[in-house]
């Protein structure tokens, strides 16, 4: 979960600062960042909301941090929008 560390550092926050936001211990944040422990669903939602990123981004399933025009540009560049049925568009 190195993305948590990266996002935290981008905001000039300590692990203790983020722990207060998440209502967990600083040690727990450290475990999330090293991958020794995985955040549960509620913590993932809090992280995504706080950092304004998607859960998929936090989990490393995508390199696109936000669903917005970034995603639409990516999909068009890779032809994903053409593969979708009209109902899905």
Class of residue 31 by CB neighbours under 10 A (exposed 0-12, middle 13-18, buried 19+): middle
Predicted local confidence at residue 66, as pLDDT = 80
- What stretch of H or E contains 65? none
Predicted local confidence at residue 72, as pLDDT = 62
pLDDT in tens, 44-77: 999 999 999 999 999 998 888 886 655 566 666 7
Which among 56, 7, 51, 54 is positioned nearest to 33, based on CA atoms? 7
pLDDT, greater one: 15 or 71: 15
**Whether pLDDT at 81 is above 80:** no
pLDDT in tens, 16-40: 999 999 999 999 999 999 999 999 9
Predicted local confidence at residue 23, as pLDDT = 97
């Amino acid at each position: 979960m190195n993305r948590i560390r990266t996002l935290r550092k981008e905001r000039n926050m300590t692990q203790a600062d983020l722990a207060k936001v998440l209502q967990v211990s600083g040690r727990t944040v450290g475990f999330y960042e090293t991958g020794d422990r995985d955040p549960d669903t509620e913590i993932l939602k809090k992280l995504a909301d706080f950092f304004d990123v998607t859960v998929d981004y936090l989990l490393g399933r995508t390199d696109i941090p936000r669903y917005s025009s970034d995603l639409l540009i990516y999909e068009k560049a890779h032809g994903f929008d053409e593969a979708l049925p009209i109902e899905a568009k």
